[in-house]
A = this chain, B = another copy of it.
Amino acid sequence: MSGATLPQVVRTRAQLREALAEAPRPIGLVPTMGALHEGHASLIQRARRENATVLISIFVNPRQFNELSDFRKYPRDEAADRRLADSAGADIIWIPSVADVYPAGFQTTVTVGALTEPLEGAARPGHFEGVTTIVAILLGLAGAERAYFGQKDAQQLLVIRRMATDLGIGTEIVACPIVREPDGLAMSSRNVRLTPEARAAAPVLRQALLAARARYEAGERDGEALRAAMREMLAKEPLAEPEYVSCASPETLNELDRFDGPALVSMAVRFGSVRLIDNEPLA
> Which residues of A pack against B, CB within 8 Å?
13, 102-103, 105-115, 132, 136-141, 143, 162-163, 165-170
Contacts and interface: CB of A to CB of B under 8 A. Distances in A.
Nearest to A101: B168
Contact of A115 (B107, B139, B166): B107
A114 B110 contact: no
Contacts of A139: 168
B107 A167 contact: no
15 contacts: A103-B165, A107-B114, A107-B115, A108-B110, A108-B112, A108-B132, A108-B162, A108-B166, A109-B113, A110-B110, A137-B166, A137-B167, A139-B168, A141-B168, A141-B170
Nearest to A139: B168
B107 A166 contact: yes
9 nearest A-B pairs in the assembled complex, by CB-CB distance: A140-B168, A107-B113, A141-B168, A108-B166, A109-B111, A137-B168, A140-B167, A140-B169, A108-B163
A44 B105 CA distance: 31
Contacts of A105: 162
A166 B166 CA distance: 18
Nearest to A102: B166
Contact of A110 (B113, B167, B170): B167
Contacts of A162: 105, 107-108
A107 B111 CA distance: 8
A113 B110 CA distance: 11
Contacts of A141: 168, 170
Nearest to A141: B168
A106 B111 CA distance: 11
Contact of A108 (B107, B108, B167): B167
A102 B167 CA distance: 9
A132 B108 CA distance: 10
A170 to B, nearest CB: 6
Which residue, of A106, A110, A139, has the highest number of chain B Cβ atoms within 10 A? A110
B106 A166 contact: yes
Contacts of A102: 166
A283 to B, nearest CB: 20
Given A162-B105, A162-B108, A167 B136 contact: yes
A106 B162 CA distance: 8
Nearest to A112: B108
A92 to B, nearest CB: 16
A136 to B, nearest CB: 5
